[in-house]
Amino acid sequence: MIFTVAIDGPAAAGKGTISRAVAECFGFRHLDTGLLYRAVGVKGGDPARAARELTPGDLARDGLRTLEAGQAASRAAALPEVRAALVDFQRRFARSEGGAVLDGRDIGTVICPEAEVKLYVTASPEVRAHRRWLEVGGDEARVLAEVRERDARDMGRAEAPLKPAADAVVIDTSAMAIDEAVAAAVAVVAARLGPAPA
């Protein structure tokens, strides 16, 4: 069975947790595409070359989850050559046998417009910054500034800007507990899959 769940949205909206839970619930494979851009951002040197030569080791290195790596990722992700180098791998993953969940910024709009389910997971900048601050600590005002800066860059770039696909189901998690958000996402996927064969 080929079945793609595309989950897009801004930083710290809950995409990662929802994606992992949906993948586990339906036995699908999961790809956190942000990790690809983070690995390119922290690798240094020419970002296009780093994207073309990305290795599994690059994706496993420490430090990919820091605020700095997020900023480096979003700068590298604005470059068309970087995005182009990562398209084929993501498309193959999305359409691989057995079902796949991909989370990122452009999965439903660019990488897999034919995805069977498209979700756009969002929340207010303040709520997202608070959640990220609980993970990384430090100065909450700085985390909020970082979230806003990255939103502006991701939504404003010319190449594959962050926006909901026209046919995406929007899940605003601002006032939801994470298990409610997961349940909402699982319900959308289950409705599209239909009843399991007897």
Chain residues in the site for ligand CDP (CB under 6 A): 11-12, 16, 33-34, 37-38, 70, 73-74, 77, 104-106, 150, 154
Cβ at position 196, least distance to ligand CDP in Å: 30
Angstrom distances, CA of residue 151 to CA of 7, 41, 132, 160, 163: 16, 17, 14, 13, 11
Q: How far apart are CA 187 and CA 175, in angstroms?
A: 18
7: nearest Cα among 107, 99, 87: 107
Q: Which two tokens stand for residue 20?
A: 């992992």
Q: Which is nearer to ligand CDP, 149 or 191 (CB)?
A: 149
Distance, CA of 162 to CA of 82 (rounded, Å): 16
Find the shortest distance in angstroms from Cβ 171 to ligand CDP: 15
8 A C-beta contact, residue 105 and residue 163 = no
Q: Which is nearer to ligand CDP, 138 or 191 (CB)?
A: 138
Nearest distance in Å: CB 198, ligand CDP: 38
Report the residue number, 67 or 193, with the smaller CB distance to ligand CDP: 67
Q: What is the closest distance, in whole angstroms, from the C-beta atom of residue 74 to ligand CDP in the complex?
A: 3
SS3 5: strand
